[in-house]
Amino acid sequence: MVRTRFAPSPTGYLHVGGLRTALYSYLYAKKNNGKFILRIEDTDQKRFVEGALEHLIKMMKWAGLDYDEGPDKAGEFGPYIQSKRTELYKKYAQELLDKKAAYRCFCTQERLDEMRAHQEKQKKTPMYDRHCLYLSDEEIQKKLDEGIPFVIRQKIPSSEVVKFDDHIRGKVSFAGKTLDDQVLLKSDGYPTYHLANVVDDHLMEITHVIRGEEWLPSTPKHILLYKAFGWEPPQFAHIPLLLNKDRSKLSKRQGDVSVEDYIKKDYLKEAIINFIAFLGWHPGEAEENEIFTLEELSSKFTLEKVHKSGAIFDIKKLDWFNWQWNRKNLHEKLKKIATEIDPNVLIENPKKGEFVYKFNNEKAKQTFLGKRAQTILKLCEEYLDKKYKINPELLNKALITVEEKILRNPREINSFIDFYFEIENYEKALLTNEKMKVDEEMAKTALKKSLATLANLDNFNSEDKIKEVLLNLVKQMSVKNGQVLWPLRSALTGKQFSPGVFEVAFVLGKEKTINRIKKALSKLENQ
Ligand code: GLU
């Protein structure tokens, strides 16, 4: 049975790379009907952070990465916290000593520092010089009797070449002579990462070790340990590094790296998970959809589709996932609302992710629009300037025209709708547009004729009607749509970008529409 694990060192926060490792390990286990284990690697007591364990557990629960065994979920192979397993590691370190696969090292920190400085001066990779490997049994006994503190080091067979198959990186090999005689047990009796990790992966019957590429150089040492113990090593999959946009290693300097930061910024959980899953993985060419729930991801995930090269952490992509998820959630709610109002409503999906609701009676349509506005309002209410609530009817209509923008960026709500309430004092240049062949004369004519047309229109309650009369006007004038609609839209909004002119006129209503056109005309006439 497949057994994977997430083995974090509790640091007090969850790095986005950590979440990805946890996610891939979880997905792989689920896909293969296996078990997913949470193991806490906290043997570095210097790095102890109060509350870090609880925090990690909370984050795993938040993400929905349910583990089958873990610190708070009993299993056959517990405890799942390394600091509670220290006696075990001592026993296994002794076994390595007995097998001559490890040795005691009595070197003082001073000697090690000198040795390192010397090696650095000679431009050599710093490595333990095996001084204590050559101590005689008598010398060792003497030092032990004197109570000199010691560490236990792994004895790397220098002539060996360690080879293994990595699920992502393919065939990998390391020459023994490049590997350091790693400390396995520290003088305080605590194991290092290497010993504890190997012992636990073996005892906990882990079949697949899925971890970040930064651990790849440790793997040959681990394989040698498995060999020394006479154990079968698990399979390995080293997932690519996370990179900044400039392809440097993902760092705090260029943006947030902890998952908590993104939660604080109101990114949806589903969007974060979806985004993280796609950092270095894609279900394949044939798959166009990228919006998946955790469950869907579990059914699609394979290690073969994990990329070899580094994955760029692009916030824009996270924004995109967040938008898509907001949209998906909104439309799920709207579908329910629509069918409650009218079971015969026609819901069309003309463009991927976009929905059109067709009611065959006006009353149902109006009820739906009211509820739709309320649903959109919920998405942005906390950011909405209270002053816009004074006119709820206008607000409701306005919200519907900027729905997609709110889904993308609810924090910006005020700048999306402000013009409906109050128009800025814009430059008259906004009314012209060289590309669209709208000079001041054209703008003036277009606005004058639009004014007359709209002043004549009694039924301002229909967006379709507004559209019809304006397009007729364009036809009559034998000009291009933009030559009339650009100056008109600018006059009504005072903005370079806004929703379309027909819906804006409809939301503003006749009086405001007429007044704004007059104001624009006076700008063109007076200056
Ligand atoms: N404790 C290591 C970490 O913090 C685990 C590495 C591994 O998965 O082997 O990432």
Q: Which of 39, 215, 235, 241 to mutate to test the pocket of ligand 1 (most atoms within 8 A of CB)?
A: 215
Please report, as a single letter, which amino acid is at residue 45. Q
* Residues present in the chain in total: 527
In whole angstroms, give the CA distance from residue 79 to residue 342. Answer: 56
Can 269 be counted among the known catalytic residues?
A: no
- Is the pLDDT reported for residue 527 higher than 70? no
In whole angstroms, give the CA distance from residue 194 to residue 226. Answer: 11
Give the model confidence (pLDDT) of 399-429 as tens digits: 999 999 999 999 999 999 999 999 999 999 9
Tokens of 318: 């996270």
In whole angstroms, give the CA distance from residue 441 to residue 483. Answer: 11
Q: Where are the domain boundaries for CATH 1.10.10.350 in the chain?
A: 428-525
9 Cα: distance to centroid of ligand 1 (angstroms): 7
In whole angstroms, give the CA distance from residue 512 to residue 492. Answer: 8
Q: Percent of the chain having pLDDT more than 90? A: 91
Look at residue 351 in the predicted model and tell me its pLDDT. 81
Selecting from 3.30.70.240, 3.40.50.10710, 3.40.640.10, 3.40.50.620, what CATH number does the domain 1-71+240-313 have? 3.40.50.620
Angle 315-341/269-277 helices, nearest 10 degrees?
Answer: 130
446-457 as b/e, with b when 16 or more CB fall inside 10 Å?
bbebbbebbeeb
Look at residue 439 in the predicted model and tell me its pLDDT. 96
Strand 346-351 to 354-358 pairing:
antiparallel
Q: What does the pLDDT average to over 322-337?
A: 96
Look at residue 262 in the predicted model and tell me its pLDDT. 96
The structure tokens 């149902």 sit at: 364
Q: Would you say 34 and 1 are in contact if contact means Cβ atoms under 8 Å apart?
A: yes
Which atom of ligand 1 lies at the shortest distance from residue 197's CA?
Answer: 9
**Does domain 428-525 fall into CATH 1.10.10.350?**
yes
Look at residue 354 in the predicted model and tell me its pLDDT. 80
Residue nearest to atom 5 of ligand 1 (CA): 7
Q: How far apart are the first and last CA of the chain?
A: 81
Q: How many CA atoms lie within 13 A of 168 on its CB side?
A: 24
Which atom of ligand 1 lies at the shortest distance from residue 18's CA?
Answer: 10
Q: Where are the domain boundaries for CATH 3.40.50.620 in the chain?
A: 1-71+240-313
Using CB distances shorter than 6 Å, the residues near ligand 1 are 7-9, 41, 193, 197, 211, 215
Look at residue 516 in the predicted model and tell me its pLDDT. 98
87 Cα: distance to centroid of ligand 1 (angstroms): 20
Alpha-carbon separation of residue 162 from 192, 227, 252, 508 (angstroms): 21, 11, 35, 74
The active-site residue, picked from 58, 245, 252, 387, is 252
Give the model confidence (pLDDT) of 90-101 as tens digits: 999 999 999 999
- Is the pLDDT reported for residue 82 higher than 90? yes
